[in-house]
Amino acid sequence: MLNSFQTSGNSPGPERCRVGILGFGTVGSALARRLTGPRSIPSLELSHICDRRARDKRARQPQPIAELAWTDRFDDLLAADVDVIVEAVGGAEPAVEYVRGALLAGKSVVTSNKLVIAHQGPALLGLAERQGRQLRYEAAVGGAMPIVRALGDGLAGEQVTRIDAILNGTTNAVLSRMDADLCSIDEAVADACARGYAEADPSADLDGVDAAAKLCILCMIGFGLRVQPAQIDTRTSARILPEDFRKAGLRGGTIRQLAHAEYDRDRSTLVAWVAPTFVRGDSVFARATGPENAAVITGAFAGRITMTGAGAGGDATAVAAIGDLIAIARDRAAIVPVPVLTEPETIKGLTDLKLAEAV
């Protein structure tokens, strides 16, 4: 007979980790709903929301979100008794300063912002370490596809040599729609907007700027390299025509926006680009449709590791942010107040010595 096991889910521990959300948009609001809904996480307690239009947004929220502490001042969030701040405002500034300020105030930080990590990741991660806090950013790359943790933890024993990935859900939604219907790019963009996969101006997505920032982060984790987004060669997907898909189909494949990075450690050379690329019809990339992301990570020892998953959307991205929050909640040292170290006046030993006598 098999033993049966009963699990109680995450242990809430003696105290719950208190969370404040900064930016109540697509990601921030989806996260708030998860953390306060019927399938909330026992170890996490959402207590504060900071948004520049806090008053308006709060008025439109149902309970229990409306009864949380809301503010439109970041300083209020810093002064609040939250352990972790989730940065979900987007853009490089003032988000970088918010993340820095939160770490300096002794908070751990979860960010979904690729620009913050691509531009200032190493400096902010260094600051987090010095502060004894955590800075986590799974949601910044790949949406719910857990590529940050896979590269940084799961494949820490690998020597990663190459990364090929679809990292922009908007562009993938547009190109896969053109692929399926042989429609114009304008029609495909309109369809992606209507489904909530694209903003009115998706140029940063189609031009490869968004994927380039994410690729920088993967180069940092996978290769240990500091690469700036401007150093990544990008080619736009905005000029792809239905005819290009017809030709790709005749060759047995299709077109996707790929981010590619290959690092030759012996020669110390990195090749990195984002571009619309021919992919074989039987590849993981051709099968990624709508806002899906996909990645193939190649290593010297384990060969190819493949992953796919929802690359965008509030609920999917909230999954990644919650994973980071749970990891922080498990690390009590990252949320309890930093101990104040004081110099002892005497050293307790066989005999009590004055500190000055002991050294």
CB of 201 to ligand NAP, least distance (A): 13
Which of 144, 122, 167 minimizes the C-alpha distance to 261? 167
d(CA 112, CA 317): 8
Which of 277, 319, 315 minimizes the C-alpha distance to 296? 277
Q: Is 354 a catalytic residue?
A: no
Q: Assign residue 150 a region: left if phi > 0, alpha if psi is -120 to 50, beta otherwise?
A: alpha
Please identify which residue in 20, 121, 143, 202 interacts with ligand NAP, judged by CB under 6 A: 143
How many Cα atoms within 13 Å fall on the side-chain side of residue 334? 24
Q: Could you say whether residue 23 binds ligand NAP (CB under 6 A)?
A: yes
Torsion, Cα of 106, 21, 309, 126 (10° steps): -20
What is the gyration radius of the CA atoms in the chain, in angstroms? Answer: 23
Q: Could you say whether residue 35 binds ligand NAP (CB under 6 A)?
A: no
CB of 354 to ligand NAP, least distance (A): 53
Please identify which residue in 206, 313, 325, 335 interacts with ligand NAP, judged by CB under 6 A: 313
d(CA 175, CA 89): 27
Q: Could you say whether residue 25 binds ligand NAP (CB under 6 A)?
A: yes
Q: Could you say whether residue 73 binds ligand NAP (CB under 6 A)?
A: no
Contact (Cβ atoms closer than 8 angstroms) between residue 110 and residue 44: no
Q: Could you say whether residue 112 binds ligand NAP (CB under 6 A)?
A: yes
Place of tokens 């590791």: 305
Q: Could you say whether residue 24 binds ligand NAP (CB under 6 A)?
A: yes
CB of 312 to ligand NAP, least distance (A): 4
Give residue number: closest CB to ligand NAP: 25
How many residues bind ligand NAP (CB under 6 A)? The answer is: 23
CB of 26 to ligand NAP, least distance (A): 4
Of 57, 107, 114, 214, the active-site residue reads 214
Q: Could you say whether residue 45 binds ligand NAP (CB under 6 A)?
A: no
Q: Which residue's CB is nearer to ligand NAP, number 248 or number 318?
A: 318
Do β-strands 160-166 and 292-299 pair in parallel, antiparallel, or remain unpaired?
antiparallel
Within 8 A by CB and 6+ apart from 231, the residues are: 216, 272
CB of 282 to ligand NAP, least distance (A): 28
Residues found near ligand NAP in the complex (CB under 6 A): 23-28, 50-53, 88-90, 94, 112-114, 139, 143, 312-314, 317
Q: Provide the annotated active-site residues.
A: 214
